[in-house]
Structure 1
Amino acid sequence: MEGLSGREREGFTDIMSLMSNSDLLSLSDTVTNKLIVVENVTEAKETILSFTKNAEELLRRKKIHRDLIFKYLANEGVIMPPSSEKRQLIWRTLEYWSSGKVSVDNSPLCDTEETTEKASDPTNKSGVGFDPLLLGQQFCQWFFQLLNSQNPTLDQQPQDWGPQHFWPDVKLRLLARAGSEQMEDFLGAELVSLRLLALSREERLLFSPNLEPHGLKALASPHGLVIVAVAGTIHRDTACLGIFEQIFGLIRSPLENNTWKIKFLNLKIRGQDALGGTEVAAPALNYNSSELQLLCS
């Protein structure tokens, strides 16, 4: 019997914590062909883990519903389109477990810097060899997981959203093209925080960033500003509404444990009707490095 790796056991423990007691007991019967009688849910979980030959086999079981895997990935900061089929979610989960990456911390951005340093070099505590692209990836995972958690359709505990993640004079420019074109500008941490919150909580939008090389760019200025630009798709329930491109300006706050806070945001949203049949599965970023360089000056 091959058995599960430690990473897989940990992942399945998290998934099983989302399951009902009756489904867990039923799954235990299925995995053991009813040869082992369990007394309670704790025994059922341990039996399931002990008698599973491989992770894919267990993920494919009927009692491991598609929505369970989707919710588990969302909790881990692995954002998938809500329309994803179960087989796509299984593949992404197996890839995530085999990558050895730990989940992104849900706490404020100070931990994003710590995560970035550890990821680039576990012994590097000085920040030498700082990689803006790595920071960009960690930041986007953190930011979109945090924003998406405010969406009531995900049915998860909202994380700690609020003005504390922004500089007091932060600026947001929101450009939406869906039929007509609308542009909105917001100034100040409270207003910017509330407007972005409304996108997720009231408008029920889900943001799925494309963190592959063609969907993400990042660069740092000599003055401490880091520009992160990312493209992705926007969803509501199971419908893909269009694509977005977002640029963040990040600056460290020395008075708050060197946390990275957001100085400005430019968010451009294009609805399906404004795309003219363009492929939206993993949209590429239209901004080039020289355009982003201008924002640094």
Structure 2
Amino acid sequence: MSGLSETERLGLKKILSLMTTGDLMSLSDTVTNKVIVVENVSEAMETILSFSRNAEELLKRRKVQRDMIFKYLAKEGVMMPPNSDKHQLVKRTLELWSSAQVDDTVTRRPRASDSRDIKEGFDPLVLAHQFCQWFFQLLNSQNPSLGQQPQEWGPQHFWPDVRLQLASRAAIEQRDELQGAEVVSLRLLALTRGERLLFCPNLEPHGLKALASPHGLVLVGVAGTIHRDSACLGIFEQIFGLIRLPLDKNSWKIKFIKLKIRGQDALPGMEVTAPALSYTSSELQHLCNS
């Protein structure tokens, strides 16, 4: 019988719920060798989970299509390159489930003002990793092409005088500089909800940097790819300035953002699958002190 963990069961239920009723019934027949007759979708799902030896075996079934796994990962805040094959998606899904961090925070990230850090021996890189997972899951959830319920986006995640510097280079170069929580929040929202962009951050060491100033500012720098539907449009680099709320040592809001976007045509010969952050530590230090 099934050797699935509770985390795997919950994840597989979400993936199975993306299947048509016909495919679900057919998969139940395949898994049980038609020994068990099911009456409805709920019974089919439970039967499939009970008779699957492990999560990998079930994910590799033909009826569990690549696009279902891709959509599941996106809803969980794990953005994969759109050209990822099924094998890569299965591997990433199993990693997600086996990770010690897979708990409620995977599906329900805290608000920016709730981002947690280690009180003793504070590590800015730990905060940077947690913040980027939270921020990009929240921002991407506003994209209607994902077909998911948007999470709570708004000016509450920013300091009132937050600044946004946006530089975009594709066929033409555009620059925006905005100030104020409401207008910055709306401008970023326009990228995902309006332009239907998906941001896929590279949280590996070469794509993520962090620095803390003695004055309480934490700089987070991250690189990644930008997608629309199945097309990779280019890469982005984003620098966040984070400051704690004065009455809560575990709460942070965004003080400033520098966002650079480069389209594919502005990247001759560059590998865009896992871009590295081009800012050096000394450049980040300069930003920290300015």
TM-score tier (shorter): over 0.9
- Is the CA contact 1:105–1:112 (under 8 Å) kept in the aligned structure 2? no
Measured after TM superposition, the shift of residue 85 of structure 1 is 2.3
Matches within 5 A, 1:198-237: 198-237=190-229
- Root mean square deviation of aligned Cα: 1.7
In structure 2, distance between residues paired with 1:222 and 1:293? 11
Matches within 5 A, 1:1-297: 3-102=3-102, 103=106, 105-113=108-116, 116-117=117-118, 127-255=119-247, 258-297=250-289
| SS state at 2:91 partner | helix
| Aligned positions, number | 286
Q: Deviations over 1:205-231 (max 9, x none)?
A: 110000000000001111111100000
| SS state at 1:252 partner | strand
Measured after TM superposition, the shift of residue 255 of structure 1 is 4.8
In structure 2, distance between residues paired with 1:285 and 1:241? 17
- Is the CA contact 2:2–2:50 (under 8 Å) kept in the aligned structure 1? no
Larger displacement relative to structure 2 (193-202 or 173-182): 173-182
In structure 2, distance between residues paired with 1:17 and 1:100? 25
Query: What code does the residue aligned with 1:106 have?
Result: R
Query: What code does the residue aligned with 1:58 have?
Result: L
- Is the CA contact 2:81–2:273 (under 8 Å) kept in the aligned structure 1? no
Question: Normalising to structure 2: TM-score of the pair?
Answer: 0.93
Measured after TM superposition, the shift of residue 204 of structure 1 is 0.9
| SS state at 1:157 partner | coil
- Is the CA contact 2:211–2:219 (under 8 Å) kept in the aligned structure 1? yes
Runs of 4+ in 1 over 4 A off after TM superposition: 255-258
In structure 1, distance between residues paired with 2:110 and 2:152? 8
Q: Percent identity?
A: 71
Counterpart for residue 124 of structure 1: none
Q: Deviations over 1:166-199 (max 9, x none)?
A: 1110000001111332211011011101110001
In structure 2, distance between residues paired with 1:130 and 1:93? 30
- Is the CA contact 1:242–1:270 (under 8 Å) kept in the aligned structure 2? yes
- Is the CA contact 1:15–1:69 (under 8 Å) kept in the aligned structure 2? yes
Larger displacement relative to structure 2 (169-178 or 102-111): 102-111
Q: Deviations over 1:237-283 (max 9, x none)?
A: 11111110000000111357852110000000111111111011100
In structure 1, distance between residues paired with 2:113 and 2:187? 23
In structure 2, distance between residues paired with 1:39 and 1:235? 41
Query: What code does the residue aligned with 1:215 have?
Result: G
For structure 1, the residue ranges without an aligned partner over 5 or more in a row are: 118-126
For structure 2, the residue ranges without an aligned partner over 5 or more in a row are: none
